[in-house]
């Protein structure tokens, strides 16, 4: 028998985001420092068995319905399909967010192991700009990864685009056309203050309302169903050629419906992406704690979940960890 896990604000938590590694083969400016990144030692990272145990407690004790694998870049973790197979057996919806640069090599294996869905991050369709953003000349590999996901039968395939004013906002229409032609869903995401350089400025955020106005003017769009607990607001093109989404994490916060918690690659449970505290589940696991002890630690951390992140308010506190260390 499962018992729903409800936070102090009445939200039922049912989505676990799992970072499987802090390592990444890109150096995106809004995610991690270009140089000097200190990687965790291998023994600090949770094993597949430890990850599966946390996920199992969340699913079997608390009725979680969604698991998502993130990083760093999850596909740099050796033998990832082994973990996917373990988690797929739990019966929850299982998704992965990747930069796509090595996806063509593993897409079929991940599909066979039981992965349900894939989100691919790509912030420019121009080779020179992609190189400037990621510090890697790998755009063609990412595009091959998108093709591989489609060919392998993943559906839907979504492409996440973080827009920044003066950096890539002039590619909005290009990405929309790319999605319409490829048959993938594009999701435009507002840039959040989780960059390692701490260079985030509100003026660089491209508001989702502006994105929707441009898309409607160019193609004609109409809203789909209500968002519910999902972060994306979904729209379809009036001519029937697919759909597009926006994630207005800064200008139209969806904290009131958030049902997510996050497990970092070193076993720290975070009740909010912007949390300033964490629960050390790795210590519980490695000290021989049973499932009751693990469930109690998870429940206690969910009890600290904030009502909202307060981005832009004078009370906002930036997390000590950057996005690559937390997991998306």
The superfamily (CATH) of domain 5-157+256-326 is Aldolase class I (3.20.20.70)
Q: Give me the chain's average pLDDT, please.
A: 91
What is the mean pLDDT of the segment spanning 101-111? 98
Q: What is the pLDDT of residue 306?
A: 86
DSSP string over 203-259: GGB--HHHHHHHHHHHT-EEE-S--TT-SPEEEEETTSS-EEEEE-TTTS--GGG--
Q: Where are the domains of the chain?
A: 5-157+256-326
pLDDT at 262: 95
Residues in contact with 14: Cβ distance below 8 Å, sequence separation at least 6, in sequence order: 4, 5, 62, 63, 64, 65, 66, 229, 259
Q: What is the pLDDT of residue 28?
A: 65
Tokens 């000349």 appear where?
A: 137
What does the pLDDT read at residue 36? 55
pLDDT of 77 strictly over 60: yes
Whole-structure pTM value = 0.92
**Distance between CA 272 and CA 149 in Å, rounded?**
30
Instruction: Please list, in sequence order, all residues whose beta carbon lies within 8 angstroms of the beta carbon of residue 186, skipping any fewer than 6 positions away.
Output: 158, 159, 161, 175, 176, 178, 179, 244, 245
Percentage of residues in the chain having pLDDT higher than 70: 87
**Which tens digits make up the pLDDT trace of 202-251?**
889 999 999 999 999 999 999 997 767 788 899 999 999 999 999 998 88
Beta bridge partners of 205: 164
Instruction: Please give the pLDDT value at position 225.
Output: 79
Q: Dihedral through CA 290, CA 296, CA 298, CA 300, nearest 10? A: -160
């Amino acid at each position: 028998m499962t018992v729903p896990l409800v936070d102090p604000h009445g939200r039922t938590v049912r989505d676990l985001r799992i970072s499987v590694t802090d390592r990444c083969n890109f150096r995106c400016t809004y995610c991690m420092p270009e140089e000097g990144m200190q990687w965790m030692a291998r023994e600090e990272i949770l094993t597949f068995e430890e990850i599966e145990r946390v996920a199992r407690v969340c699913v079997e004790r608390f009725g979680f319905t969604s698991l998502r694998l993130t990083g760093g870049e999850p596909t740099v973790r050796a033998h990832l399909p082994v973990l996917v197979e373990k988690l797929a057996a739990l019966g929850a919806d299982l998704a992965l967010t990747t930069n796509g640069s090595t996806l063509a090599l593993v897409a079929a294996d991940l599909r066979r192991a039981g992965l349900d869905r894939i989100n691919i991050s790509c912030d420019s369709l121009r080779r020179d700009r992609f190189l400037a953003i990621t510090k890697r000349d790998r755009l063609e590999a990412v595009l091959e990864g998108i093709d591989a996901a489609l060919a392998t039968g993943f559906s839907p395939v979504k492409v996440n685009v973080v827009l920044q004013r003066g950096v890539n906002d002039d590619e909005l229409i290009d990405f929309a056309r790319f999605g319409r032609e490829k048959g993938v869903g594009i999701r435009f995401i507002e840039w959040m203050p989780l960059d390692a350089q701490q260079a985030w400025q509100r003026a660089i955020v491209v508001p989702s309302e502006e994105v929707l106005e441009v898309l409607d003017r160019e193609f004609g769009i109409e809203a789909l169903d209500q968002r519910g607990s999902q972060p994306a607001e979904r729209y379809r093109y009036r001519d029937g050629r697919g759909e597009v989404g926006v994630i207005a994490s800064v200008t139209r916060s969806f904290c009131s419906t958030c049902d997510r918690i996050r497990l970092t690659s070193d076993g720290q449970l975070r009740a909010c992406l912007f949390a300033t505290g964490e629960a050390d589940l790795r210590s519980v696991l490695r000290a021989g704690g049973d499932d009751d002890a693990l469930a109690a630690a998870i429940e206690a951390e969910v009890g600290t979940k904030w009502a909202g992140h307060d981005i832009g308010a004078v009370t906002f506190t930036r997390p000590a960890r950057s996005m690559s260390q937390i997991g998306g």
